Chains A and B, each alone.
Chain A
Amino acid sequence: NAGVTQTPKFQVLKTGQSMTLQCAQDMNHEYMSWYRQDPGMGLRLIHYSVGAGITDQGEVPNGYNVSRSTTEDFPLRLLSAAPSQTSVYFCASSYGTDNSPLHFGNGTRLTVT
């Protein structure tokens, strides 16, 4: 099992550029989510999905879009990158409504200059 796979591992963008962070899981998990980790801030929820076709906002959704067309994939889109979006991004998944532990990807380190 690959678990939760995030690509790329590192990315540098210029202000105003767009990009998509990819996340895929092979565990047939219904629930998927994106968090960002900033120094001294812990992990904060950006967006989440409880199943294909269903997404919702988390604590810090501004500047990010998501979609969930399949159970396996949950991409995170930055439409116009800003330096404030410099962070480490983690994708996570779990079975869903049973409060099962989240399985995390290895993260994407994004720098916006």
Chain B
Amino acid sequence: AQKVTQAQTEISVVEKEDVTLDCVYETRDTTYYLFWYKQPPSGELVFLIRRNSFDEQNEISGRYSWNFQKSTSSFNFTITASQVVDSAVYFCALSEEGYSTLTFGKGTMLLVSP
């Protein structure tokens, strides 16, 4: 069975601080995909990134970066120089190869104050 754990329920930071959101996953599959989604206060779910299990390269997109480590089954998300607009709930999710069904973590609420 697959499982995604986001141990941080809520994180509060002050604008311009860096923040890392942790994600630990469990799966028996050798091929799998990891995702991050953002849910701003308006409620919609916004796709941020997809990573397959064979690609351990870190990825950077503007102020966002992701660190994938198979050795620790982690796929952490870092926001550099956080902004108030980054305030949202962030979900990490996992899917098996060939399936679009996602197993989600419980989410981390990030509050960025001015």
Stretch at the interface among B11-19, B42-50, B56-64, B70-78: B42-50
Report if A84 contacts B (CB, 8 A): no
Counting residue pairs across A and B whose Cβ atoms lie within 8 Å, the total is: 57
When chains A and B are docked, how far (Å) is the Cα of A107 from the Cα of B41?
13
When chains A and B are docked, how far (Å) is the Cα of A100 from the Cα of B52?
11
Instruction: Please tell me which one of the listed residues A33, A35, A41, A107 contacts residue B100 in the complex, with CB atoms under 8 A apart.
Output: A33
| Contact yes or no, A99 B99, CB < 8 A | yes
CB distance from B64 to the nearest CB of A (A): 15
| Contact yes or no, B106 A41, CB < 8 A | yes
Instruction: Please tell me which one of the listed residues B98, B104, B106 contacts residue A40 in the complex, with CB atoms under 8 A apart.
Output: B106
Measured between beta carbons, the chain B residues less than 8 angstroms from A33 are 100-101
When chains A and B are docked, how far (Å) is the Cα of A88 from the Cα of B103?
17
Report if A31 contacts B (CB, 8 A): yes
Stretch at the interface among A17-25, A43-51, A61-69, A72-80: A43-51
CB distance from B35 to the nearest CB of A (A): 7
Measured between beta carbons, the chain A residues less than 8 angstroms from B106 are 40-42
Report if A53 contacts B (CB, 8 A): no
Chain A residue, CB-CB nearest to B95: A99
Report if A106 contacts B (CB, 8 A): yes
When chains A and B are docked, how far (Å) is the Cα of A18 from the Cα of B33?
37
When chains A and B are docked, how far (Å) is the Cα of A33 from the Cα of B95?
14
CB distance from A52 to the nearest CB of B (A): 16
Chain B residue, CB-CB nearest to A103: B47
Report if A58 contacts B (CB, 8 A): yes
With A42-B107, A104-B45 known to touch, is A97 a contact of B98 (CB < 8 Å)?
yes
Can you list 14 A-B contacts with CB-CB less than 8 angstroms, sorted by A residue number?
A: A33-B101, A41-B106, A42-B6, A42-B91, A43-B91, A44-B104, A45-B101, A92-B45, A98-B98, A100-B50, A101-B47, A102-B45, A104-B44, A107-B43
